[in-house]
Amino acid sequence: MISSIDKNNMYQAIKDFPSHLKEASDLISKIKIKNMPNKVTNLVISGMGGSAIGGDVVIEIVKNDIDIPIQVIREYNLPNWVNKDTVVICSSYSGNTEETLSAFEDAIKREAMIFGITTGGILGKKLNKHNRDKIIIPKGLQPRAALAFSFIAILYYFRKLGILKSSFGKWINVGINRIEKNQKKYCLEKISNPCYLLAKNIYRKVPIFYSCSTSYSVIAKRIKGQLAENSKMLSYIGELPELNHNEIEGWKNNENILKHFVVIWIKDSNDHPRVKIRQFISGKILKDIGIKQFFIEMDGESFQDRFLNMIHFGDWLSYWCAILHKSDPTPVTKIEKLKSELESY
């Protein structure tokens, strides 16, 4: 029985992704922003882990609809160029992420406009103290399972700021409908489920996810994180075309290690034409040395629709890898131990 392994019901948390998207849209659309900047020259999204990936997702899916620079920061300090015309979004699910709290203080010193996304914690208190706008999202989830709330919150805030050139309601609704349809098979412990089948092929290997740098590099990063936290597995990522200029040469020596690797190509119809050719040739080179390879590609009306569904596919892939390893996907004991020991320094 799955429930004997998945004691904390990560199954339901993943299955709830489309309902989280709906709930987030309803909740966040009602938020009123009190502090509107007169000028925005650039944006920074500060966060770590599951809270940071929401920023990555937003940047990727609206990159053609925003004309100002946006950067996700996963560290204690903000870039030197942050100033009073910068919007800094501090995203921390718990509200206690020390790197994000440090970035908040840095933003205060630089007189930047600050917006918070959290369930509360220390960040919530600091936002209240400094009278900064925030969105309080639901508690009770693992941060990595709260992705819908973090990235929808950023989208709505961008719309409130007036920096989005187009609406996003249509493709979100289309994406939700397709996710609901796809997950009817993704949630099944059967070979007919493509997520489960791929998990069966990779869970005893070290997966390497390759994607086009202009389409699914964020997806690869998300899957890597999910495999680490849910499946307790190491995996690695790389991007085309860059890997053709260095990494492709690494597939030669240490044959005893290479035999444990498996490559998963994450593809999209929107990939650059030359990247599609590079992927084909790279695949042939790897095949010649006996590297097992798999492909993931989504159908969908728009890139955003396919992007959301690829996220959901990756989440289920990590779940089934965890079940095949007989590992409860929810606990993150090493992260908790590290946090505990950090408190003594």
SS (H, E, C) 260-295: CEEEEEEECCCCCHHHHHHHHHHHHHHHHCCCCEEE
Q: Is 301 helix (H, G, I), strand (E, B) or coil?
A: coil
- 325 as an active site residue: the answer is no
Taking each helix axis from N to C end, the angle separating 303-324 and 217-229, rounded to the nearest 10 degrees, works out to 20
Please identify which of the residues 126, 229, 232, 239 carries the catalytic annotation: 229
Outline where the chain has alpha helix (H). 10-15, 17-28, 49-62, 98-109, 121-129, 147-161, 169-186, 194-202, 217-229, 255-258, 273-288, 303-324, 333-342
Active site residue 75: no
Is beta strand 206-212 parallel, antiparallel or unpaired with respect to 42-46?
unpaired
Q: How far apart are CA 66 and CA 60, in angstroms?
A: 11
Catalytic residue among 34, 39, 184, 245: 245
Q: Is 229 a catalytic residue?
A: yes
Catalytic residues: 229, 245, 339
